[in-house]
Amino acid sequence: MSRNEIDIETKSAVLPQPDAESDRQLPLFSKETVAAVRAEEQRWRRETHDPINNRKGPWKKDFTTVSGMEVNPMATPADVADVDFERDVAFPGEFPYTRGIHPTGYRGKLWTMRQFAGFGTAKQTNERFKYLLSQGQTGLSTAFHLPTLYGYDSDHHYSAGEVGKCGVAIDTLADMETLFDGINLEEVTVSMTINSTGPIALAMYLAVAEKQGADWKKIGGTLQNDILKEYIAQKEYIFPPRPSMRLITDTFKFCADNVPKYNPISISGYHIREAGSTALQELAFTLRDGVEYVEYGIRAGLDVDDFAPRLSFFFNSHNDFFEEVAKFRAARRIWARVMRDRFGAKDPRSLQLRFHTQTAGCSLTAQQPYNNIVRVTIQALAAVMGGTNSLHTNSLDETMALPTEASARIALRTQQIIAHESGIINSVDPLGGSFFIEELTNRMEQGCMDYFEKIDHFGGMVEAIEAGFPQREIWDASYQFQRAVDSAEKVVVGVNAFQMEKEDPFDILYIDESCTAEQISQLEKVRASRDKQKVDETLQALRNAAGDANVNTMPFIIDAVKAYASVGEISDALRDVFGTYQEPALF
């Protein structure tokens, strides 16, 4: 058994203590100061706060966060008495990276403005990509339609009514070539939100780059490729968990060797939050998914520092401003400590949590949709104040349909106004040192480690998922939130308060069935023009590779893609070997 395997099995999930080799401690406040503040707080409550509070009382009953966490009504130095500056806060760009992974914050480089886009055919989405780039967007993010996500071609009977509706239709390499026509993949980083069929999308992307003459060593971008959150929340899985994890570790190894600047995974809490989790559950389950991927990578024979630097994360930013900021700060600190203490990572890049943020789609309302601009602005501010590295701001109409060009432009302008007019980018971690923020960050960290301990007792995240643990936790949280909304304990403006009897009509983007006919016609042309024998040979070679646990599947997927085998055909070849997953009944 290797040292790393021993560490995986025995490391405790409790909060790390100061380094054993260093006795130096830098508490934010001395014991004398804390004692004096506590005494003064008691006087203030007795003489100033309580007389008014007892006479008037609070104007509402519930003062919890969006997630139901009790909020400290008035933080003081006493609430951060256990916070050590060097151990817990430190300076930006230094361990444990609570204040950010870059010493200069946004003074050195703005976050990447990466608006999610994809609808209809590859040609239509290519036009939207070019429009967004012309408007100042600095990175691309690709949404795929459901058939591609589930491994079916557009002419499959399961695809009926879904072609191009919630993302772009991609069936073969020809579609991917059209999608990035006129876009230099060496110059623009591209994120692809796709999971079960993620390795196929990556293969197509690399094949297009090669056709452009791009050097794979220079290509940057991100593949979501996070299957664990599919079992937990989004349910767009195909294969059982273990072969799915094998495909992911294959991408880790392939990218480390061939595409070193590419992120082969974006470990996603976004969809966990959209399914109804609390902020704490999103944080804990996302980071514990990350731990699982690292463990599987090590078991596959990879050195942690060979692949961990390219792991990336994807979080949701909801309405509760301070809760979200604390979540992001805690995420960096937890990941740094876990990678150092649990896995023994030595490369500083392995300890640095890099993350993309998307504002909360689940918070948007069809009622009074222009209110969504305000919600998105608050959520984007929280992401930036929390130090996000990349950001998508939802469009005001996304609760009803895919965004129109005009609404997508407003969403992008929201980021640009924050960046260039608000002034909040001028200081690195401007909320750092706030009694309230530091105390809330600590609570997030402790709650996250409590969840880690529970999941470790199951044997890991795969085992916890098979037992239904994270799924039940999310169901319970979602139910409690909905009860609070239904009782108006939690106010949603325009929905359970401040409603309008009649609202003005609102135009949305509509994808008609002509898209389906066009896409199927394109697919038929590709099938008629390709070398069928070559397709059959590459698919059989992929089946053989998938059946051998010691063989990396990525080169064989790339060969099949280059032969213009379709997403459905490649997925079927893998289904032949791996089978499909049926979620057990959970109550």
**162 CB contacts (<8 Å, ≥6 apart)?**
145, 146, 147
Q: What is the DSSP letter of 30?
A: -
Confidence of residue 39 (pLDDT cuts 50, 70, 90): very high
Q: How far apart are CA 195 and CA 192, in angstroms?
A: 9
Arithmetic mean of pLDDT, 542-563: 98
Beta bridge partners of 223: 192
**Torsion on CA atoms 176, 179, 185, 191, rounded to nearest 10:** -90
**115 CB contacts (<8 Å, ≥6 apart)?**
132, 137, 141, 392, 393, 408, 411, 412
Distance set, CA 562 to CA 89, 220, 367 (Å): 49, 21, 47
Beta bridge partners of 222: 191, 263
Domains of the chain (ranges; CATH) run 85-486 (3.20.20.240)
Closest-CA residue to 172 (of 538, 514, 540): 538
Q: What angle do CA 332, 337, 339 make, to 5 degrees?
A: 95
Q: What is the pLDDT of residues 61-109, one digit of tens each?
A: 889 999 999 999 999 999 999 999 999 999 999 999 999 999 999 999 9
Q: What is the pLDDT of residues 351-399, one digit of tens each?
A: 999 999 999 999 999 999 999 999 999 999 999 999 999 999 999 999 9
Q: What is the pLDDT of residues 180-221, one digit of tens each?
A: 999 999 999 999 999 999 999 999 999 999 999 999 999 999
pLDDT at position 470:
98
- List Cβ<8 Å contacts ≥24 apart for 60-66: 61/489, 62/484, 62/489, 62/490, 65/279, 65/320, 65/322, 65/323, 66/279, 66/318, 66/319, 66/320, 66/323, 66/481, 66/490
pLDDT at position 584:
83
Q: Does residue 18 carry a pLDDT above 50?
A: no
Beta bridge partners of 193: 143
CB burial readout 314-323, b (16+ within 10 A) else e:
bbbbbbbbbb
Tokens of 104: 């200069």
Arithmetic mean of pLDDT, 489-503: 95
Q: How far apart are CA 181 and CA 125, in angstroms?
A: 11
Q: How far apart are CA 374 and CA 378, in angstroms?
A: 6
Closest-CA residue to 188 (of 226, 150, 218, 145): 218
Q: Which residue is listed with tokens 């010493």? A: 103
